[in-house]
Amino acid sequence: MIANRIRAVATALVLGTAAMAVATMPADAAMRSAVGKPLQEAVSLAKSGNYAAAMAQVKKAEAVGGLSAEETKGVNQMKEYLASVSKGQVGTDTATGAIAKFNADWNARKYRDVIADEDLLRQRGALSGAHQVVVAQAYEGLGDYRGCMRYADSHAGAGAEMVRRGMLCAFKAGDDTAARNLAIKLVSQNPTPDNWGELLKQAEHAKQLSDPQTLDIYRLKFLTGNLKGSDEYFMLSQMLIAARVQNEAAIVVDKGVQAKLLVDARAQRLAGMAKKNAADENASVQKALAAAQKQPKGEDLIKAGEVLSGMGRYGDAVNAIQAGIGKGVVDTDNAQVRLAVALYGNKQKPAAMAALDKVIRAAKTPNGKLIATMWSLYIKSH
């Protein structure tokens, strides 16, 4: 049958056996000669690399009119075959041809053509999220990092890889704010330790971070598995000791010891200090809480609540922090974050999210909003 012979030859060409002979065969019931012969000629022309002439023969077959199902199938198969083997030089009116052109343009580093090919893929119903990621990479290939960033941001629905590409482009463009916003999207879509690592790295680059904000970044590093090496364990432990949150510091030191990251003489001294400080804190916390309750403002109660959270006494921490907020505090952003952490520890997740939402909607500073957003992402996914 002519139809079978044409498909067999096209398949053989794809498999690399282009030397297969093509005999002219008489028409049969499955495919009329007026359709079959041009398609056979198209196969011969394709073997010689004359794709434009081959496609002209396919169009000739298609123009016969009144095509049967078998004839239509043969025409479409030849179109797709020519589009594929010509790498999109012909046949871009098919999905296969559009994809072939897109791939060929990318491989040839024709980045502007790749960007233009998006419309072609869309018209042919062949546009996928993976193609859109490549379009973002084409902007990057042109050195148009802001174009890449904007494209990725507006096509974030294509998936985490698109958002990651946009974040990297924003970083290359020197737009730290955009990089952080895209990193937030990345974690909200897929809160893996690696994606958290990207977000926390971007957060560390924020300007004018306060000491409590820097401490929260390191706390989140610890919680998300991104506290790396002995130096970072020392850093967080020492920040907690300086912040007078001694039980929490002791927990971090213990984890560092268990992970065999804190093993030298300096680590042993740190462990001894953390243990002693935690014991002193346990002995003095009630006295400190009583003194804080007598203060006209709430800062000392917020600190007492933070200490109680570090001890695992989350219910008491919630009460202390709420009392402190009621008295009035200067750093309302941090107070709400400390309340959220205590509420979360006390298994009051919706209330914790609501406390963070207050900061996100009306933060006093951009960094306050950033810290609250990161805690919100963490609590939401745990």
The pLDDT tens digits of the residues spanning 75-107 come to 777 777 787 787 766 766 778 888 888 988 898
* Gap between the Cα atoms of 333 and 305, Å rounded: 15
Query: What is the secondary structure of 271-324 as a DSSP string?
Result: HHHHHHHHHHHHHHHHHHHHHHHTSSSSHHHHHHHHHHHHTT-HHHHHHHHHHH
> Per residue in 343-354, pLDDT tens?
999 999 999 999
What pLDDT is recorded for position 15?
A: 34
* Gap between the Cα atoms of 1 and 314, Å rounded: 81
> Over 90: is that where the pLDDT of 2 sits?
no
* Gap between the Cα atoms of 164 and 184, Å rounded: 10
> Per residue in 254-273, pLDDT tens?
999 999 999 999 999 999 99
Sequence-distant contacts of 353-361: CB under 8 A, at least 24 apart: 353/379, 353/380, 359/332, 359/333
Question: For residue 19, with 0-12 CB atoms within 10 Å meaning exposed, 13-18 middle and 19 or more buried, which class applies?
Answer: exposed
How confident is the model over 360-382, as a mean pLDDT?
96
> Per residue in 304-316, pLDDT tens?
999 999 999 999 9
Are the CB atoms for 97 and 105 separated by under 8 Å? Answer: no
Query: What is the secondary structure of 155-204 as a DSSP string?
Result: TGGG-HHHHHHHHHHHHHTT-HHHHHHHHHHHHHH---HHHHHHHHHHHH
Triad 181, 331, 322: Cα angle to 5° = 105
How confident is the model over 202-229, as a mean pLDDT?
95
What pLDDT is recorded for position 88?
A: 65
> Per residue in 16-59, pLDDT tens?
333 232 333 334 447 888 888 888 877 878 787 777 777 788 78
pTM for this predicted structure: 0.76
What pLDDT is recorded for position 110?
A: 92
* Gap between the Cα atoms of 12 and 96, Å rounded: 18
What pLDDT is recorded for position 59?
A: 81
> Over 90: is that where the pLDDT of 220 sits?
yes
For the chain, what percent of residues have pLDDT higher than 70? 91
Beta strands in 95-194 (DSSP E): none
What pLDDT is recorded for position 18?
A: 31
SS3 90: coil
> Over 50: is that where the pLDDT of 115 sits?
yes
> Over 90: is that where the pLDDT of 9 sits?
no
* Gap between the Cα atoms of 239 and 94, Å rounded: 62
Tell me which of 336 and 25 has the higher pLDDT. Answer: 336
1-15, 69-83, 260-274, 289-303: lowest mean pLDDT where? 1-15
What pLDDT is recorded for position 31?
A: 82
Query: Of how many residues is the chain composed?
Result: 382
Q: What is the DSSP letter of 158?
A: G
Q: Enumerate residues 6+ apart whose C-beta is below 8 A from 227.
A: 218, 221, 233, 236
* Gap between the Cα atoms of 321 and 331, Å rounded: 12
